[in-house]
Amino acid sequence: MENKICLDTDFLVNFLRNNKEEIEFIKENEANKDLATTYINLFELYYGAYKSNKKNINLKAISVLLSRINILNFSNESVQKAGEILAKLEREGKSIEFRDIFIGTIALVNNYSIKTNNIKHFNRIEGLNILD
């Protein structure tokens, strides 16, 4: 299994909702793997928290989560790669949402695999390793 794993928003939401599979994955991997997410995913978590009826509980859960994982940021290389890949996908009629292209290329240029349930979009990013 990969040593560097970027956790997508859908995975993190399930983890924060105490879903067994995601909790087990974190427990099994946090000690010996580099678990991370991106600032794009973090935005999506905060957006969801502020929209919810349990804002304070969700904000606290995000804070606790952030103490357990790393955050990957944009770089010139990742945004250039995002532009390249999105232009190619649009030419092929296979465009994906901007946030997903950013998340995927940030993971890709930092040599992270991605743990997601949104395989349909992320498998369009050539070179990105998607974990089951």
- Chain segment 17-68, per-residue pLDDT in tens: 999 999 999 999 999 999 999 999 999 999 999 999 999 999 999 999 999 9
Q: Is residue 100 included in any domain, yes or no?
A: yes
Q: Report the Cα–Cα distance between both ends of the chain, in Å, rounded.
A: 10
Q: 103 and 85 in contact (C-beta within 8 Å)?
A: no
- Chain segment 82-106, per-residue pLDDT in tens: 999 999 999 999 999 999 999 999 9
Q: Note the pTM of the prediction, 2 decimals.
A: 0.94
Q: Is residue 78 included in any domain, yes or no?
A: yes
Query: Domain count of the chain?
Result: 1
Name the residue range of residue 66's domain.
4-125
Q: Is residue 92 included in any domain, yes or no?
A: yes
**4-7/113-115 β-pairing:** parallel
pLDDT score, position 115: 97
Q: Is residue 130 included in any domain, yes or no?
A: no
* CA gap 11, 30 in Å, rounded: 14
* CA gap 71, 56 in Å, rounded: 22
CATH classification of the domain holding 48: 3.40.50.1010
Q: Is residue 132 included in any domain, yes or no?
A: no
